Structure 1
Amino acid sequence: MNVPEIRIRQLNQSPLKDDGDYVLYWMIANRRIRCNFSLQRAVELAKRLKKPLVVLEALRCGYQWASDRMHRFVLQGMVDNRKQFAETPATYYCYVEPKAGEGSGLLETLAEKACAIVTDDFPCFFLPRMLEHVAPRLPVSLEAIDSNGLLPLRAASQVYPTAYAFRRFLHKELPPHLLETPKTNPLTHFKLPELKKLPGDILKRWPMASDELLQATPQVLADLPLDHQVGPAIFDGGAEAAHQALKRFLDQRFDRYADERNLPEEEVTSGLSPYLHFGHISAHDIFDHIARREHWSVEKIMDQKATGKRSGWWQMSETAESFLDELITWRELGYNMCWQRDDYDQYSSLPDWAQTTLEEHASDPREYTYSLEEFEQAKTHDPLWNAAQTQLVTEGRLHNYMRMLWGKKILHWSESPQKALEIMIELNNKYAVDGRNPNSYSGIFWCLGRYDRAWGPEREIFGKIRYMSSKNTARKFSVDGYLERYSHQKRQGALFD
C-alpha cells in the first residue's frame, strides 16, 4: 500500500533524479523502523527507481535545551536502529555532532548523489524552521511525510478550540484514515539493491558514530558540549524500551488506568509520551495493540454518529476508551494547533477570553512570588509543589495530574501570566524528556486557559481561569507517599549538588 497522498508534503521544486546513486531518508522525528510512513515512502521511491536506500539519523548538539538527558535518550534509540537496520538491505548512517556546527554540510553533500530525499514532517520545536531553511538549497526533491498520528495533520482545515469540538471532528473524519495504516516493517519482503559503501570523503569528514559513543556513558557525554547539570532520566530510550513500556502498561497497569491514572501515589499511566515524542514508537502501533486486546475492528465505528462524547463511541471497554481519548483526542489536538499556528508557544495564542481575564487580574497582589531559579530549585513554601518539581528534575518526567497542579501554581506565584508561561516552558523543556512536543505545549497552555472555558467564582490572579491548589489535591487524593518519595530524593542531594 502506498503512503496516502494527504501525508506527503513537497518542500521544494527540485527534481527527482533517476541517475542518482540512492534514495536518502533523513530521519529527524520518526526515529524507528516500525509503523513509519516516512520510511515506507522512502522504500517506495527506492523500489520504483531500483536504487539503494540510505537512512541518515543525525544528532546535532547546538539545539536549545541540549543536555545529557536528551542526548542519552536519542543515542539509545540509535543503538536499536543500528541493530534493526543491520538486518535489512538499507544502509543506516548515524552521525553525532561532536561540536556545534560540525555537522553543517552533511545533508547537502549526501544530496549531491541522491535521487530524492524523504524526511519527517513534525510541526514543533526547531524542526519546521530547519526544513524551511534547508529545502531550497537541496538539488533534489525533498518530501516531508506525516507519520505523527492516526489523523493526518492536513485532514483538519482549522484549529479546534476545545477537545470536545476536535473529538466531534475525529468521530466524523477519522474512520477512513484508520484503514490506511503504515506497514509494520516497510523493509520486509522488499528486494532493494544494497549500497556497497558510503563515499569515503563523507565518512572522513563526518564519521559514523562509534559503538562507544552510542553507549552514552557519563564519560562519553562529558566530552560533548551539552548541559551536564541535567543528568539522565531514570528510564532508557529506544524502540526496545518503548515496546517494553507498552507491554508493561498493558500487562500490569491497563486494567487500573481509568480509575487510578490521576492518583499521584500510583504509577498506572503508560509512560509512553517520551517515546512518542522522539519517535521511538508510533501512535498507530500503540493503537493496534489496544485494538487487538479489545478484539476490535474499524467496521464497528464506520457508521457511528459523531457525538463528541469521551466514551462509548469506540465501542471498547471504559479503560480502553479513556486511554484512547488521551492518545488520540488530546495528543492530536496539540498537533492540530502546532502545524497551523506559528505562535503555538506564544502568549498571543491563548483564547481571547483567557487573555482578557488574566490581564484584568495581572496587577492583583501576590502573597508569594518566585523567580525562575527558585522554582527550578524547588524552593517554594509548598511541599507538594516542591515534590513535583523534584520529580521532574530528577526523573525526567512528571505525574500527569501533578503536572496540572505544577503549572497552575507557577501562574499563581509568578509576577505576571506572561512570566509564568516563560517559566513553565523553560522548566518543562529543560527537564521533561517529553517536552518540546505539541502535546506538552497543550498541557502548559491548558494551565492558562487553552482548550478550557471560563470558570467561576472569579478569583484573584486567576480571574476566570480554572483554579487548582495543593490543599484541594491533598483532599482529593492521598499524597503522603508522593511527598515522602520526592522529599527524600531532595534530602539525599539528588537536586543541584
Structure 2
Amino acid sequence: MHTVPPLRIRQVNQAPVQPGGDYVLYWMTAFRRVRSNFSLQRALEHCRELNKPLLILEALRTRYHWASDRLHRFVIEGMAANQQAIAAAANPGVYYFPYVEPAHGEGSGLLATLAKRAAVVVTDDFPCFFLPRLVKVAGRQLPVRLEAVDSNGIVPLRGTDHAFTMAFHFRRWLQKNLPRWLEKSEFPLADPLKRCELPTFEKLPASITKEWRPADLAKLLAPGGLQALPIDHSVLPASIHGGSAVAETVLKEFLKHRLARYADERNQPDANAASGVSPYLHFGHLSVHEMFTAAVRQEDWSLDCLAKKADGKNSGWWGTSPPLESFLDELITWREIGFNFCTHRPDDYDQYESLPEWCRKSLAKHAKDARPNLYDLDQFESAATHDPLWNAAQRQLVREGRMHNYLRMLWGKKVLEWSASPEDALQTLIHLNNKYAVDGRNPNSYSGIFWCLGRYDRPWAPERPIFGMIRYMSSENTARKIKVKNYLREYSEYSE
C-alpha cells in the first residue's frame, strides 16, 4: 500500500491515540488542498486503521500579523474550492468544517473541543511564520495524539541535517540525494479521497456548530463581505484569485504558453514568462509534487535522464530542455533551500543575526557611510523615492500583491542603500513584503529578502560604500539589461 513516508511524520506530543473517538480530525493549516497532500493522506490512513470517518477543519483566524482583505480573500477562495471538491467527492465519511473567525478570539477553543471527540489529530508541518508556534502550543494542550505531516517539497524537511548557506552547495547535495525522493513511492497520492470507503460521518453536536458557526463562504466572498472582520481593509484584494482549481489553471497556462520562453525571458518584465504559481504554493492550493509531475510530463523525461555527476551547476543535470531545466532549478533548488534554512534555523531565520558572518562584518564596516538618499518606512511604502523604477516596482507590489522577480532583487538592494542601517533595511523589506505580497510570510520569500543582504551569495569586489562586499545593483544598470519602458508606464504614479 502507498503510505506516507515516515520521515514526513512528526509526533508533536506524547498523548495517546483514542480508539474510542468519533472521528479522525485533520486540522488543515498550510496545505489547503485535497489533492497531493501527505497530511490528508496520513489522516485517511488513520481512518482506515481505526475504522473512523474524517473531519477536516480548515480555519482562518483574524489576529495574525498583516491580516488583511488581500490575504483573507485569497484564503477564503481556497476554502470555497475545497468545499466544492469535497462535495463533488460525495464521500459520506468525510465532513468539511470551514471556520472564519468573526472577531478576535472567537475561534478560541474550537480545536480543543473537536479534539476531545477525536481519535487522533493530524495537522500540517510548515516551518515558517506563526504556524510552528501554533502547532507546538496545540500539542501541549490537546488530550489526544497530534501528528504534524510535511507536504512542503520534494525533499522532506528532515531529509537534510543542516542549513545550507550557498545555493551551489545545496544544488550539489540535491544532485547526489534527490533521485531517491523522485521515486513514485515518495510522492503523495494525487487524489487520496478517490475510492476511499469510510464509515458515515454523523453530524457534529449543535452545541459546537452554534458556538462556532461554519463560515458562509459565499457571503464572505460577496462584495463587502469582509468589512465586518477586524482585519486591515486598506490592503485590497489582489487581482489574482485563490483556490486549487484556479491554481491548476495557472499552472496549465504556464506550461502550455510560457514555459518555452522561461529560460530566456523570465527576467524581462514585459515578456510575462514567469510561472505565477508562487501564491498558490505558499497557501498550499497547489502541490510542488503536482507541479513537478506536470512539468516533466511536457518532455519524455525519466529518472534515467539525470546526469551521473553531481557538480552543483545549474544546468546539464536534469537532462531536459534549457527552459524546463531552468524552471526545475527555481522550483526545487531555490524554493527548497528556504525551507531547509527555516527548518534548521527556526529561531532566527528571519533575524539579521542569521546572515553569514562575512555579510555582517562587511555591512558593519560601512554602517556609518553617508547615505546619499535616506527614506523612512512611510516613504518606501508610498513609493515616494527619487527612483522611478523602484517606485514602479513598489506600486506593483501594493496594487497587485506581487512584483516582477528580477525587479524584486533591485527593490531589496535599494532599500539597503537608502536605509539608515542594514537592520532597518531588513525590517522594512520584511514588513512591505509580508504586508502586500500574496506569497509573503514564506521560507522562499525570506530567501529572496535575505539574498539582498548576502545570504546564499558570495563577497563581490570592488568593495563599495554602504554595501561593502555585498552584491550591488543599480536602476541604471537594470534598465540597460532589461526592457522597462512599458513597465514604467504601467506602474507610473498616474496609472492608478
Aligned to 2:483, which of 475, 478, 481? 478
Q: Which residue of 2 aligns with 1:198?
A: 204
What are the Cα deviations for residues 399-424 of structure 1, in whole angstroms up to 9, with x where unaligned?
00000000000000000000000000
Q: Distance in 2 between matches of 1:358 and 1:228?
A: 37
Query: In structure 1, what residue type is equivalent to 2:494?
Result: R
2:290 equivalent to 1:278: no
Mapped to 2, the partners of 1:213 and 1:437 lie a distance apart of 29
Q: Deviations over 1:275-299 (max 9, x none)?
A: 0000000100000001111121224
Tell me which amino acid in the other structure corresponds to 1:85: I
Which stretch has the larger CA shift, 263-272 or 406-415?
Answer: 263-272
Distance 1:160 1:197 in 2: 48
* Residue identity (%): 59
- For 1:117-169, what per-residue CA distance to the aligned partner results, in whole angstroms no more than 9, with x for missing partners? 00000000000011111101101110000000000010100111111100111
Give the letter aligned to residue 139 of structure 1.
Answer: P
Query: 2: distance between equivalents of 1:483 and 1:471?
Result: 13
The separation in 2 between residues aligned to 1:225 and 1:291, in whole angstroms, is: 44
| From 399, 410, 414, the counterpart of 1:409 | 414
2:309 and 2:48 map into 1 onto residues whose CA distance is 41
8 Å contact 1:79–1:214 — kept in the other structure?
no
Match in the other structure for 1:491: 494
Give the structure 2 partner of residue 457 of structure 1. 462
Write the distance in 1 (CA, Å) between the matches of 2:442 and 2:126.
9
Point out where structure 2 has 5 or more consecutive residues left out of the alignment. none
Q: Does structure 2 retain, via aligned residues, the 8 Å contact 1:78–1:214?
A: no
Q: Residues 39-438 of structure 1 correspond to what in structure 2 (within 5 A)?
A: 39-88=40-89, 89=91, 90-179=94-183, 180-215=186-221, 217-301=222-306, 304-341=308-345, 342-438=347-443
Letter in 1 for 2:173: F
Q: Which amino acid aligns with 2:459?
A: A
Residue 214 of structure 1 and its aligned partner are, at CA, apart by 4.2
After superposition, what is the alpha-carbon deviation per residue over 1:192-244, rounded to whole angstroms, capped at 9, x for unaligned?
112121121110000111143342x3411111111111001010001011011
1:15 equivalent to 2:16? Answer: yes
Structure 1: gaps (5+ residues): none
Instruction: Quote the Cα distance in structure 2 between the aligned partners of 1:390 and 1:87.
Output: 40
Say which SS state the counterpart of residue 402 (structure 1) adopts. helix
The answer to whether the 8 A contact 1:91-1:194 is kept is: no
Q: Secondary structure at the match of 1:86?
A: helix
- The DSSP-based 3-state class of the residue aligned with 2:226 is helix
One-letter amino acid of the counterpart of residue 212, structure 2: W
CA–CA distance in 2 between the matches of 1:336 and 1:38? 19
SS of match in other structure, 2:270: coil
Deviation sequence 1:20-61 (CA, Å, 0-9, x none): 000000000000011100000001100111100000000001
The answer to whether the 8 Å contact 1:311/1:318 transfers is yes
**Aligned-pair CA distance for 1:114:** 0.1
3-state SS, counterpart of residue 293 of structure 1: coil
Amino acid at match of 2:60: L
2 CA distance for matches of 1:378 and 1:104? Answer: 39
Contact (CA 8 Å) 1:150, 1:283: kept in 2 or not? yes
Which whole-Å deviations, capped at 9, do the CAs of 1:359-404 have from their partners, x for residues lacking one?
Answer: 0000000110000000000000000000000000000000000000
| Cα distance in structure 1, aligned partners of 2:487 and 2:224 | 33
Residue type of the alignment partner of 2:261: R
TM-score, structure 2 length as denominator? 0.97
Q: Which amino acid aligns with 1:26?
A: W
Q: Tell me the amino acid that sits aligned with residue 198 of structure 1.
A: L
Q: For 2:120, what is the secondary structure of its paired residue?
A: strand
SS at match of 1:222: coil
**What SS is found at the alignment partner of 1:368?**
coil
